[in-house]
Chain A
Amino acid sequence: MALLEVSQLDVRFALRQGEVKAIRDVSFTLERGERLGIVGESGAGKSVAAFSLLNLIAKPGFIAGGSITFEGQTLNTMSERGLRKIRGNRISMIFQDPMMTLNPVLSIGEQMVECLKAHRRISSKEARAIALDKLRQVQIPSPEKRLDQYPHELSGGMRQRIIIAIALLLDPDIIIADEPTTALDVTIQAEIMALLLDLCEQHNVGLILITHDLGVVSQVTQRMLVMYAGRVIEQGPTREIINDPQHPYTQGLINALPQMATPGEKLNQIRGSMPSLSNLPSGCAFHPRCDFIKRADGQTRPVCIEQVPGFVQAGNCQAACHMVAELMEDRRLKEESQ
């Protein structure tokens, strides 16, 4: 059995206007030491998925269905007390913005020691020693000094290193990183990502990396999920999805990368924008933006508008699109004719 199994996860927000389905029918697994990427535009439900794993979604959000199983324990029905033993201990998190994540009025040492002491019966002295060791592992210059410093005395990159150190404090099985480099300087992003990858490999820690950066996903993860409007629309080995995306949305995302544009021409953006979760289009949620919805004779395919697509196997990947087989056939023909 996999280390972490998420099946048919359904997360909703009870708003005044009614329930909004933020996540629908999301299933995936993570093996020990495996690195999984979750990509998608803003609003696709990536972060909600990440936070719901540890039941950390804030009210009015709640898990309406499905299950999250970690080492045989069902997390979504577990008591708060039981979850607390797992949070920060077996599964730890890295948040998006290091400037906002650390408490401004507590010293770095205090914020590290409290985490250790919450999960292990150790003295403050021992806790400080472990904290110092982890700070060394994240290659912070003069780590001894950092324990007594406050967040405002450190740069964004340093703070994110500290947050990585905190994530590693209790040698967790899984780290969930929610856009860990988005808020950082471009030059620092690569450094932090390389560090995180390196440490995960060293300690055999599983990583769930949430990002909208396809470059990062392709470098770091072995498998990936692409999310759109609260659903997974494509999943499989990262390399295959990046090299040969099946779903029109994934194709659009990869085509939209600046590297894919012809110099002097406009970037190939996907037209339109992500629909609001409270007002989703019928059938395939991507159909209003999809370029393949028209048949050769100019007619719109009714199935795209009427039916929510299920997963179709395509090589080692699965894509939730009615036209996967057709599109594959088209491409094969095109390649043959060339």
Chain B
Amino acid sequence: MIAFLIKRLMHAVLVMFVISVLAFAIQDNLGDPIQQMVGQSVPESEREALRERLGLNDSFMVQYVRFAKNAVQGDFGYSYFYREPALSVIARHLPATLELVFAATLIIVIFSVPIGVYSAIKPRSIISRFFMGVSIIGISIPVFLTAIVLIQIFAIGITVSIFPESTGWGAWLNGLFSTQGNMPSFGRGYDLVHVVGHWDTNLASWNGLKHLVLPAISLASIMLPLFIRLIRAEMMEVLQTEYVKYARAKGISMRRVYFVHALKNTMLPVITVGGVQIGTMVAYTILTETVFQWPGMGLMFLDAINRADIPLIVSYLMIVGVIFVVTNTIVDLIYGYVNPTVKLTGKPA
């Protein structure tokens, strides 16, 4: 177990090293940070002095070694824009993003498993076909479009009037398809509950939860259909195996055959894919957070790029790399727990 975790720690360090080199290598192409920092009226001589003071004139190697030396001591540099340590800027934005990813993951888990299992057990039913059709649409529509459609329907509201208002059923149908549009679609809301440090949570108040709903749904909109299809495909394959047939021959209930014998085997590949996808979702937050002005890391990163705030960009990329490694480590631990043929945790045989 400890050996496994140490190995993963080494992975994380390696990932951070590679990411930092890559991020540093592209910094020259991101624009001039000085231009973003100072006003139009500042003369060139002063700009040059600032550039010199920040060490921007040094060669790539010198700059990188200086950064790496500090980074090892936990200092990832100062954000040019916020004028404070890049790590603390990220720490302030991290909880919002993690809560968003958490909420989206929750939506995915709650919906993908039952829908996937159902459509594997009854592949020919109308409901299954409906979900398969919808999931194809879901996969094909980009996140930001889903987000905008959600805002239109639930935050702005739509009024349907295509049915004749004069008849009773027409009015009823118009009312049925029209929406109020009272869901919040901007930011995290006013009612955040402080937990600890930089962490204020959306999850502990009604207003906070309401603000979380639309961003979480749109973030989940790409992964949910993917997981429904993945679970369905895996489950259908597992249902063909001899051990499922054998379980039926033992006379145990179909519920147990489906949810113990088949589902547990179905989830093995799903868990593996899920680990990677959670990391990918952190990256997708850039789009979602921009559309909903969600003050998380994604929005911060986009701003940092616009401002050529290199220390912040590099720190963000490295933190995301670490999140990838951490989620994959957790997923591998879960996998080892579910699948007895894998003994990476070193539990006694």
Interface set of A (CB-CB < 8 Å, partner B)? 54, 56, 58, 80, 83-89, 92-93, 95, 97, 100-107, 114-115, 118-119, 150, 152-153, 166
Contact = CB atoms under 8 A, between A and B. Distances in A.
Contact of A93 (B241, B249, B264, B265): B249
Contacts of B241: 100
Nearest to B244: A103
B129 interface: no
Contacts of B240: 58
A72 B261 CA distance: 32
Given A100-B242, A105-B265, A115 B252 contact: yes
Interface pairs A-B: 9 shortest CB-CB: A88-B251, A87-B251, A88-B250, A100-B242, A150-B340, A118-B252, A93-B249, A103-B243, A115-B250
B253 A84 contact: yes
Nearest to A95: B246
Nearest to B238: A103
Given A58-B245, A101-B243, A106 B260 contact: yes
Given A105-B265, A152-B341, A100 B243 contact: yes
Interface in B260-289: 260-261, 264-265, 268
A106 B238 CA distance: 14
Contacts of A54: 249
A87 B250 contact: yes
Contacts of B264: 103, 105-106
B242 A97 contact: yes
A89 B250 CA distance: 7
Nearest to B250: A88
Contacts of A152: 340-341
B248 interface: yes
Interface of B: 240-243, 245-254, 256, 260-261, 264-265, 268, 338-341, 349
A150 B246 contact: no
B244 to A, nearest CB: 8
Nearest to A86: B251
27 contacts: A54-B249, A83-B251, A84-B252, A88-B252, A92-B250, A95-B242, A95-B245, A95-B246, A100-B241, A102-B246, A103-B261, A103-B265, A104-B243, A104-B265, A105-B268, A105-B340, A106-B261, A114-B250, A114-B256, A114-B260, A118-B250, A118-B253, A119-B251, A150-B341, A152-B340, A152-B341, A153-B349
B246 A107 contact: no
B249 A87 contact: yes
B245 A103 contact: no
Contacts of A101: 242-243, 246
A314 B117 CA distance: 55
Contacts of B242: 95, 97, 100-101
Contacts of A80: 254
A81 to B, nearest CB: 9
Contacts of B246: 93, 95, 101-103
A93 B247 CA distance: 10
A281 to B, nearest CB: 32
B256 A107 contact: no
A105 B254 CA distance: 18
A165 B246 CA distance: 14
Residue of A89, A92, A105, A150 with highest tally of chain B CB at under 10 A: A105
Contacts of A114: 250, 252, 256, 260
Contacts of B249: 54, 56, 87-88, 92-93, 95
Given A101-B246, A150-B340, 18 more contacts: A58-B245, A87-B248, A87-B251, A88-B249, A88-B252, A89-B251, A93-B249, A95-B246, A102-B246, A103-B246, A103-B264, A104-B339, A104-B341, A105-B268, A105-B340, A115-B251, A118-B250, A119-B251
Contacts of B248: 56, 87
A88 B245 CA distance: 12
Q: Which of B241, B243, B253, B254 has the most CB of A within 10 A?
A: B243
Nearest to B242: A100
Nearest to B247: A103
A89 B264 CA distance: 25
B340 A166 contact: no
Contacts of A84: 251-253
Contacts of B245: 56, 58, 95
Contacts of B250: 87-88, 92, 114-115, 118, 166
A151 to B, nearest CB: 9
A152 B339 CA distance: 11
A152 B343 CA distance: 12
B99 to A, nearest CB: 33
B340 to A, nearest CB: 4
Among B248, B265, B341, the most chain A Cβ lie within 10 Å of the Cβ of B248
Contacts of A102: 243, 246
Contacts of A92: 249-250
Nearest to A170: B251
Contacts of B243: 100-104
A118 B265 contact: no
Nearest to A96: B242
A81 B248 CA distance: 12
A85 B341 contact: no
A112 B253 CA distance: 14
Nearest to A104: B341
A115 B253 CA distance: 10
Contacts of B339: 104-105
A102 B241 CA distance: 10
A105 B248 CA distance: 16
A288 B249 CA distance: 38
Nearest to B341: A152
Contacts of A166: 250
Contacts of A118: 250-253, 256
B346 to A, nearest CB: 16
A191 B187 CA distance: 72
A107 B251 contact: no
Nearest to A117: B252
A114 B260 CA distance: 11
